[in-house]
Amino acid sequence: MTVFHFFNCAILTFGPHAVYYSATPLSEYDTLGTSVKAALVYLGTALVKLVCLATFLKVSENDSFDPYQELLKALIGFIDVAGLYFALTQLTHRNISQNHKFQAVGLGWAFADSVLHRLAPLWVGARGLEFTWDYVLQGIEANANLVLSISLAALGSLIWLRKNKPRTLIPIIYACAGIVATMPSITSYLRRGLGWHLPKVVGFELFTSLVMAFISCQLFAACQRPSS
């Protein structure tokens, strides 16, 4: 039963990444190499973030919300944006369109995040003798993170790769990118500042990811239209 629970949670956590790749044109255009490169960039970015967090953050004696510490975490979190910029603009990609490029980069980014932050807890905890919903919720949270990562990659491609975007949309694009980039700090405040439990936080993440995906899709479509 414990192994069955582990495999269920693992499929819920990592399965949507494979489904997204095979169910979209990404598989037809063989963009797996782009996703793998993005995943490697994510791992390098995570290492830089880890060094910065260990250097500049102090170890808290309790789990209370510290605004100064969380602000510092949010600033360090923008290293992810720099890594995403590098993955979108500096890596060599096959001859694929901008539409497929940001999806491949976002997919690789989200998969690497899930492997780095969720595989070990799944392997250790989901095989325990006592059933818990925490790892099911962790899988749902990974799905929300997949949507947010692709949304951030889409917004990043509009900021850095799309030159002739409508001027009226530029503030909206930057605002949405800022919201998605600071989602870890927002959820940390909900958990530790407001005392939200995990199901409520995951529900918020899932709702926010769907809203941001819809807005990103609309912005991307608006920027694709020829300017009048």
At residue 22, the pLDDT reads 92
Residues 6+ apart with CB under 8 A from 141: 202, 205, 206
Nearest CA to 153 among 216, 210, 111, 225?
216
Contact 127, 2 (CB under 8 A): yes
At residue 193, the pLDDT reads 82
Nearest CA to 100 among 150, 147, 145, 143?
150
Q: Hey, what are 203's tokens?
A: 């529900």
Residue carrying structure tokens 């807005």: 215
**Predicted TM-score of the model (pTM):** 0.90
Q: What are the CA-CA distances from residue 149 to residues 75, 119, 170 (Å)? A: 18, 18, 20
Residue 196 has φ and ψ, to the nearest 5°, of: -70, 140
At residue 53, the pLDDT reads 85
pLDDT beneath 50: ranges in the chain:
none
Q: Hey, what are 33's tokens?
A: 């190499």
At residue 202, the pLDDT reads 93
At residue 178, the pLDDT reads 93
Separation between Cα atoms, residue 16 and residue 205, nearest integer Å: 16
At residue 8, the pLDDT reads 84
10 Å CB burial of residue 154 (0-12, 13-18, 19+) is buried
pLDDT tens by residue, 106-138: 999 999 999 999 888 887 776 665 667 888 899
CA distance from start to end of the chain? 61
Separation between Cα atoms, residue 145 and residue 151, nearest integer Å: 10
Separation between Cα atoms, residue 185 and residue 190, nearest integer Å: 9
Separation between Cα atoms, residue 105 and residue 88, nearest integer Å: 7
Nearest CA to 168 among 110, 112, 227?
227
Q: Which amino acid is at 51?
A: V
At residue 124, the pLDDT reads 78
Separation between Cα atoms, residue 171 and residue 97, nearest integer Å: 25
